[in-house]
Structures are given as structure tokens and as C-alpha cells.
Amino acid sequence: MKLHGYFRSSASYRVRIALNLKGLAVEHLPHHLRKGEQRAADYLAINPQGLVPALVDDAGDILTQSLAIIEWLDEVWPQPPLLPDDPLARARVRAFAQAIACDIHPVQNLKVLARLRQLHVEEADVTAWAAATNREGLAACEALIRGMPGPFCFGARPSLADLCLVPQLANARRFGVEVEAFPRLLACETAARALPAFANAAPERQTDAE
């Protein structure tokens, strides 16, 4: 398999963690987002959205969107599972993951911040926008898992929720968010980052890291 990504992309980070947890080998093909390499014609032929990640399986089939990729991996390689068996618990994990992947991450990603700069928003206000988006969203996530058993977001093993949380906390720190305000989330992060699958997926350990 081939994973098209970028070391600092939190969506790519999620997929790297999933691949590591499943013990799957993959060829990493980086695209430098700040240099616009994701908009090259050869990559747009793979993912017309011009976004990372994109996963090409052994048969040459292309998958896009990190949550869709992760759920496909979980269905094809079910061990260890990334979603609970119980339908209610599974819905809660998905809701937490989507709160990050659909509501926090897109509003503070590179494309949106670049658009703000094009509209002549001051750089300090662009950073403040990203920080506020992270702060408000993570506060909601903290509340969503309050009272849930640990050490991970939803119990004794990492789930799709943790795969989304750890990269988003890294984003929040880049924008100066005081993440100490979210002790439950930080406890989940500590448990996750102690696992090699998470540690080896970290941005600073990727071959294209800067």
C-alpha cells in the first residue's frame, strides 16, 4: 500500500497511527502542503480534492478522507478493533472523532488559514482564529468523555477517538492553546503516546519532517 501524506497533516497522522496499530506496512509518499505539491496534476489525478491523506491499496484502489480510510482498515484488518462492538458505544466514539475531524480540524487547517490571509486578515488574528477553534472544540471534547473509563478516551484500548485526539492536541499546541485546561484529554494523550504505534506516527519521526 501507498500512503500519500505530509508529516504535519493531522489527518495523515491519524491514518499513520491506524496503520501502525494494525501492523501494516506502507510506502509513505510525502507531498509538501506549504509548497502546494498537493495541487500538482499527478496528485489531483489521485485525489481531486487536492488534500492528504490518500491511500492506494495493493490492488491500486484509491481511498480518500482519513476517517473513511481508518474505518476501511478496521473492517479489512479487524484486529485490534478501533471501534467498540456495542452500537451505542460505537456511535459515541464516532461522534467524538467527528467533532474533531469535521468541526475543529477543517476550520483551522492550512487551506482555511490561507484564505483568511488572502482576505487581508492580520497574521495575529489568523493565529487567534485557529487557537479559538481548537480551544472551543477541545473543551467540548473534554466534556464528551467526562466520566468515561480510561486510560484512553473510551476505555482500556485506543479507539478512533484517540486517533483523532492526539494529532489535534499537537495542532492546538502549535497555535499556542493552553491544553492544560483539558486534563482528561491530556491523560488520554499520555496513555496513547506511550504506545509505539502512536509514538512512531508522530510528525517529528517522519522522513519528510522539517
pLDDT in tens, 93-119: 999 999 999 999 999 999 999 999 999
- CA–centroid distance for 192 within its chain: 14
C-alpha 210/C-alpha 205 separation (Å) is 10
Mean pLDDT of 138-156: 97
Q: pLDDT band at 171, cuts 50/70/90?
A: very high
DSSP state of 53: -
- So what's the pLDDT on residue 140? 98
Question: What's the CATH fold of domain 87-197?
Answer: Glutathione S-transferase Yfyf (Class Pi); Chain A, domain 2 (1.20.1050)
- So what's the pLDDT on residue 182? 98
Do residues 4 and 63 make contact, with C-beta atoms less than 8 angstroms apart? no
- So what's the pLDDT on residue 209? 97
Domains of the chain, by residue range, sit at: 2-80, 87-197
> What does DSSP say about strands 2-5 and 54-56: parallel, antiparallel, or unpaired?
antiparallel
Q: pLDDT band at 151, cuts 50/70/90?
A: very high
Give the pTM. Answer: 0.96
Summarize pLDDT for 54-98 with one digit per residue, the tens: 999 999 999 999 999 999 999 999 999 999 999 999 999 999 999
The CATH class of the 2-80 domain is alpha beta
